[in-house]
């Protein structure tokens, strides 16, 4: 099973999702996409209703982008302190039945090799008994996608916009978001090493035949993005509200 490894830079979470959806629906390559930092954004699953997931305080301001992604799962808040990992694969090449739990276990292999303190608990990546990442998946007839958003740090005020979800894992109990989440900065030393550590672990576990750097602030990066996303395909990723920080060609 061969992978193309893409290391992204200056790629907002909205454009990352647009790129992922295109790769899922139009490509036949196995992809590992890594990205770090984005303008502050709320990202909801495809079937989520904003009023069911967000407090009224969120709707009284317009500084944060609101995005509906093409995959399922819950609602997450991401920003400049987020680290993203996405795996997009051909189902026929997987050595296991393509069920959500199996995809989680597959994704855990490079995560636990790169970051030994992170483990899998009831379909969540945790440090101890606190969640440090959000997960979502998308399965098509021929392809499987699993994306992860790790929290190097998070803004407590923004986390306050999230309502307590109706469905929670047993280990969470009745803990609030602030009591349930833990930032990676409490365990690891350097945010800028998250991507190279994960890339090194991934390459040690899987065959990577191509490694690309995607910088959206370069002409080459912009052309690559346009080439991948331009072909006709179903487009379910939706920007519902633009944030204060422009999602195009931003600098953090």
- How do residues 199-229 score in pLDDT, each as one tens digit? 999 999 999 999 999 999 999 999 999 999 9
Q: What percent of the chain has pLDDT over 90?
A: 79
Tell me which of 3.40.50.1240, 3.40.50.1820, 3.30.930.10, 1.10.760.10 is the CATH number of domain 2-238: 3.30.930.10
Coil, strand or helix at 158: helix
- Residue 248: is its pLDDT beyond 70? no
Tens of pLDDT, residues 90-122: 999 999 999 999 999 999 999 999 999 999 999
Considering Cα of 25, then 31, then 37, then 43, what sign does the dihedral take?
positive
In the chain, the N- to C-terminal Cα span, in Å, equals 35
Structure tokens at 141: 């007839």
Q: Contact, 134 vs 76, CB < 8 A?
A: yes
| Band (82; pLDDT cuts 50, 70, 90) | very high
State the pLDDT at residue 243: 74
Domain ranges of the chain: 2-238
State the pLDDT at residue 62: 65
Could you tell me the pTM of the whole model?
Answer: 0.94
Q: What is the mean pLDDT of the chain?
A: 93
State the pLDDT at residue 132: 97
State the Cα–Cα distance between residues 20 and 147, nearest whole angstrom: 9
Tell how far CA 37 is from the center of its chain.
11
**Is pLDDT larger for residue 61 or for residue 234?**
234
State the Cα–Cα distance between residues 140 and 19, nearest whole angstrom: 16
Structure tokens at 27: 């490509």
State the pLDDT at residue 246: 59
Tens of pLDDT, residues 167-206: 888 889 888 888 899 999 999 999 999 999 999 999 999 9
Q: Contact, 42 vs 18, CB < 8 A?
A: no
What average pLDDT score do residues 50-57 get?
Answer: 89
Place of tokens 């998250």: 194
Which residue stretches of 27-131 are H helix? Answer: 50-53, 56-59, 100-114
State the Cα–Cα distance between residues 163 and 139, nearest whole angstrom: 27
């Amino acid at each position: 099973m061969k992978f193309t490894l893409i290391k992204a830079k200056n790629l907002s979470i909205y454009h990352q999702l647009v790129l992922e959806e295109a790769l899922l629906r139009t490509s036949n390559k196995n992809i590992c996409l890594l990205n770090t930092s984005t303008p502050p954004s709320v990202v909801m699953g495809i079937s989520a209703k904003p009023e069911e997931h967000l407090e009224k305080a969120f709707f009284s301001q317009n500084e944060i982008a609101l995005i509906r992604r093409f995959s399922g799962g819950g609602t997450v808040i991401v920003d400049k302190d987020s680290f993203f990992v996405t795996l997009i694969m051909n189902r026929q090449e997987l050595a296991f039945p393509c069920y959500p739990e199996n995809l989680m276990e597959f994704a855990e292999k490079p995560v636990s090799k790169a970051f030994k303190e992170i483990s899998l608990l009831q379909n969540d990546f945790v440090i101890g008994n606190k969640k440090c990442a959000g997960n979502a998946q998308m399965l098509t007839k021929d392809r499987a996608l699993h994306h992860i958003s790790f929290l190097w740090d998070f803004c407590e005020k923004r986390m306050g916009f999230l309502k307590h979800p109706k469905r929670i894992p047993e280990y969470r109990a009745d803990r609030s978001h602030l009591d349930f989440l833990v930032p990676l900065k409490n365990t690891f030393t350097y945010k800028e090493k998250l991507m190279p550590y994960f890339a090194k672990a991934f390459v040690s576990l899987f065959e990577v035949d191509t490694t690309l750097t995607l910088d959206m602030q370069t002409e080459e990066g912009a052309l690559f993005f346009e080439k991948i996303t331009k072909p006709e395909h179903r487009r379910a990723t939706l920007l519902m509200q633009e944030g204060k920080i422009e999602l195009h060609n931003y600098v953090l």
